[in-house]
Amino acid sequence: MRHLFAAALLATIVGAQPPAPGSTIVVRAAHLISATNDAVTSPGVVVIRGDKILAVGGSAAVPADARVIDLGAATLLPGLIDLHTHLTSTGVHWEEELLKTTPGQAALHGAHNALITLMAGFTTCRDMGPTWPFTDIDLRKAIDEGVVPGPRLQVAGNYVSPTGGAGDARQFSIYVDVPIVRNLADGQAGNGYPSAKGGVTRPLSPRADRSPTGPCAWRGLCRIQGRPCSNDLSSA
């Protein structure tokens, strides 16, 4: 198991520091799991040119000018996908974060957590909503632009919560005002679909991925908006 994840870690290092355009890297190991079937290929060879994987398998041709990385007894496998993360969390409960932290802290912790997640072998994450709205979108943009290393992200932008749900911050004392919380999908009075439409439309801005929580959780609310559900992770 240690060898298995050592190989995944190396793959993330290559992803975090992509080679120059046109250069070729060949990663060799004792075994390879491609995940296209149940087979374990021995030996394992992955040919990478620039930021593209050209060939996978024990019989893949090795270009003469390639840089070869030999991992010995390790096992190569595709990047892992985490479907529930909160990368911009500072590590404390979200209620405490609202009262004691700032969006800037969330952004800095997000960059740190993204690197840790990538180095653990996860190359795609579905982030399920930040305490501070839209900090996850900024993190995704920074990763996409190469400003910070991290996995590919699908992000929510903000929580959407029913009354009493995980994102309902009204359990605070009536003497504490938390104006940032405007994400109740059923409205303050719980008056049904019209308020649900407003609650969903706000956090699902054009900058957020359309359905970060999956089609089953969002189907009814997406129908309220008159938009199709989508949760395509095929590009991961």
Q: What is 174-210 written as a DSSP string?
A: TT---TT---BTTTTTT--HHHHHHHHHTTS-TTS-S
Of the candidates 80, 24, 69, 81, which has an alpha carbon nearest to the alpha carbon of residue 51?
24
Based on the structure, what is the number of domains in the chain?
2
Does residue 116 share a domain with residue 18? no
Q: Give domain status of residue 236, yes or no.
A: no
The whole-angstrom separation of Cα 141 and Cα 148 is: 9
- How much is the pLDDT for 5? 44
Q: Give domain status of residue 160, yes or no.
A: yes
Tell me which residue range forms the domain holding 132.
80-225
Q: Give domain status of residue 142, yes or no.
A: yes
- How much is the pLDDT for 186? 52
- How much is the pLDDT for 37? 85
Does residue 165 share a domain with residue 52? no
The whole-angstrom separation of Cα 182 and Cα 187 is: 9
Model confidence pTM above 0.95:
no
- How much is the pLDDT for 85? 96
- How much is the pLDDT for 21? 62
- How much is the pLDDT for 108? 97
The whole-angstrom separation of Cα 42 and Cα 224 is: 51
Does residue 68 share a domain with residue 54? yes
- How much is the pLDDT for 9? 46
Q: What one-character-per-residue DSSP string does 71-128 give?
A: -TT-EE-PPEEEEEE-TT--SS-HHHHHHH--HHHHHHHHHHHHHHHHHTTEEEEEE-
- How much is the pLDDT for 104? 95
Does residue 158 share a domain with residue 86? yes
What's the CATH code of the domain at 41?
2.30.40.10
Does residue 120 share a domain with residue 72? no
130: CB partners within 8 A, 6+ apart: 86, 88, 89, 106, 110, 136, 156, 158
The whole-angstrom separation of Cα 210 and Cα 229 is: 8
Residue with tokens 């030999």: 70
Does residue 134 share a domain with residue 30? no
156-209: per-residue pLDDT in tens? 888 777 767 776 666 677 677 666 655 555 554 444 444 555 555 554 555 667
Burial of residue 230 (CB within 10 Å: 0-12, 13-18, 19+) is: exposed
Does residue 102 share a domain with residue 34? no
- How much is the pLDDT for 196? 52
206: CB partners within 8 A, 6+ apart: none
The whole-angstrom separation of Cα 61 and Cα 63 is: 6
Q: Give domain status of residue 127, yes or no.
A: yes
Identify the bridge partners of residue 184 per DSSP, sorted by sequence position.
161
The whole-angstrom separation of Cα 203 and Cα 136 is: 12
- How much is the pLDDT for 199? 52
Of 39, 58, 76, the residue at which a domain comes to its end is 76
For the chain, the maximum distance between any two Cα atoms, rounded to a whole number of angstroms, is 71
Low-confidence ranges of the chain (pLDDT < 70): 1-22, 163, 167-171, 174, 177-208, 210-236
- How much is the pLDDT for 106? 96
